[in-house]
Amino acid sequence: MKGSRLIKVLSSLNRKEMTQFLEFSSASYSGASPAAFKLLRYLESCYPAFSEDQISKETVFKSLYPKTKFKKQRILSLSSDLMSCLRDFLSLLEAQQESTAAQLRFLRQLRKRQLSGSHEIAVKQLQKQFSNEKYLAVRTALDKYLLQQELMAQYISEDRRNIDDRLQKISDTLDEFYLSRKMALAVEMKGFERFFGLQFDYGLLPQVQLYVKEHFSDLKVLRINQLQMLCLEQESDASHYYEMRALMDEMAEKLENPIRRMQYRFAQNYCIRKINAGDLDFLRESFDIYKKLLDTNLIFEEGVLAPSDYKNIISASLRLGETSWALDFIESYKEKLPKSSRANTYRLNLAHYYFQTNDHHAASGLLKDAEFTNVFEVIQAKYILLKISFEAGDFELFEFQLIAFNRYVSRNKELGSSIKQSISNFIRAAKRLARFKRKQFVMTKAEMELERSKLKAYFESLNPLTNPQWLMAKLTDA
């Protein structure tokens, strides 16, 4: 059963969900047979490991029917019954996340039962909720449209004649839903075009943008979508970004956390692109966004901090000279990291801190005995050790490390071609930088300036290139 769909879905449940599923399956309304529930109780005892020796069909059958000869079909039938029950449980979990959908279903039941008074009260409650609650822009637009459809059905059932206003509201809310979804989807498509080289047909987008500008200019969520598009299309014009950031902060308390998180992620990625293009003013902006995400807890997914965010926050704070803040963050937030990668992520980023604060001995000590399994952690560790060797003047070790680094990257199948190219360019640049450092003691001042100028031009010609700021800094120091 190890590779079965049932085990895969059960493995995705956390402990709280598994307990809830047990309670759900034991209830008469769940539809689970006593035998299927007995199977679940056994599988729950094997959770979360679900080792092969515990859940083979023969082992499971023997546990359920110790005195009966093994019958494969019976196990398959029980598994199918339990999977149906699990499907209903997960559907219920999803429904609990969408309270408006349940309220709309309640309205439909009131209408069918001809309880017009109760229907009217429930409608007013839902309308008040739309005006007061935090909302997920596209979801709310759809819910408003569905509510207007329900009201139209109620009008018809009561044989009301004045329905022109109701039809108009249905049309207006449908427009709002379509425009919200179209604009949000267009931003996603533009992002994929930029970063993955894909091509899309945007259909009615130009007309939609014009219509939004003329008729929905006061709808700030749509304006944010417009500005996101402009940030992607006209990246050099930072005014679009700053207007977007101001609107994001203004709308923060009116939006659900998933939308807020997506918007700040978009802003963060814009900052990273600007930093990589050499605009270091956005380093402070990026750091401020990270602080906001931390202060509002938006950065956490179910209480867990992604290793990439942990790393990026530390890198930004160190580059800004916020060393005390960085060390406090490293120690304070390490327990928020995923347990599976916590030790290595903590060790690697503490080593980065020591390197940036010139305690090279402590940094190399943390890295030399470490066994990193994540390819990006391996690469980050190699960069730190390379820089330590260079700054110590051990160019023989430095060049040996470059050869080993190049071999590792070229043989790795997890890395994309763009990342491989950027690292390859760094290795070429670093080799020439090391040769220059070795020769500088036998060069005249004029020869050094000429060679430095050539190397600067060479570094600038390499695209893509990782660690360009470090290379330029070491070239200037030489």
- 3-class DSSP assignment, residue 97: coil
Residues 409 and 478 grouped into a single domain: yes
Residues 400 and 414 grouped into a single domain: yes
Closest CA to 396 of 354, 356, 434: 434
Using 70 as the pLDDT threshold, list the residues of the chain that sit under it.
Answer: 97-99, 131-140, 158-164, 478
pLDDT of residue 161: 60
Instruction: Name the residue range of residue 163's domain.
Output: 100-181
- Structural domain includes residue 290: no
**Distance from C-alpha of 438 to C-alpha of 199, rounded to nearest angstrom:** 48
- Structural domain includes residue 159: yes
Residues 170 and 107 grouped into a single domain: yes
pLDDT of residue 330: 97
- Structural domain includes residue 470: yes
- Structural domain includes residue 367: no
Read out DSSP for 289-351? HHHHHHHTTTT-BTTB--HHHHHHHHHHHHHTT-HHHHHHHHHHSGGGS-TTTHHHHHHHHHH
Q: Which of 128, 157, 181 is where one domain is finished?
A: 181
Task: Find the helix or strand (DSSP H, E) in which 438 lies.
Answer: helix 417-439
Q: Which of 181, 208, 223 is where one domain is finished?
A: 181
Number of domains in the chain: 3
Q: How many CB atoms lie within 10 A of CB 36?
A: 21
Q: Which of 147, 164, 181 is where one domain is finished?
A: 181
Residues 10 and 92 grouped into a single domain: yes
- Structural domain includes residue 257: no
Residues 116 and 87 grouped into a single domain: no
pLDDT of residue 209: 87
Name the amino acid, one letter, at 218.
Answer: D
Task: Find the helix or strand (DSSP H, E) in which 132 lies.
Answer: helix 116-132
- Structural domain includes residue 238: no
pLDDT of residue 138: 55
Indicate the DSSP class of residue 48.
Answer: T
Residues 79 and 29 grouped into a single domain: yes
- Structural domain includes residue 424: yes
- Structural domain includes residue 45: yes
Residues 417 and 469 grouped into a single domain: yes
Residues 6+ apart with CB under 8 A from 241: 227, 231, 267, 270
Residues 164 and 79 grouped into a single domain: no
Orientation of helix 307-319 relative to helix 323-332, angle to 10°: 160
Q: How many CB atoms lie within 10 A of CB 387?
A: 20
pLDDT of residue 352: 97
Q: How many CB atoms lie within 10 A of CB 329?
A: 20
- How far is residue 448 CA from its own chain's centroid? 47
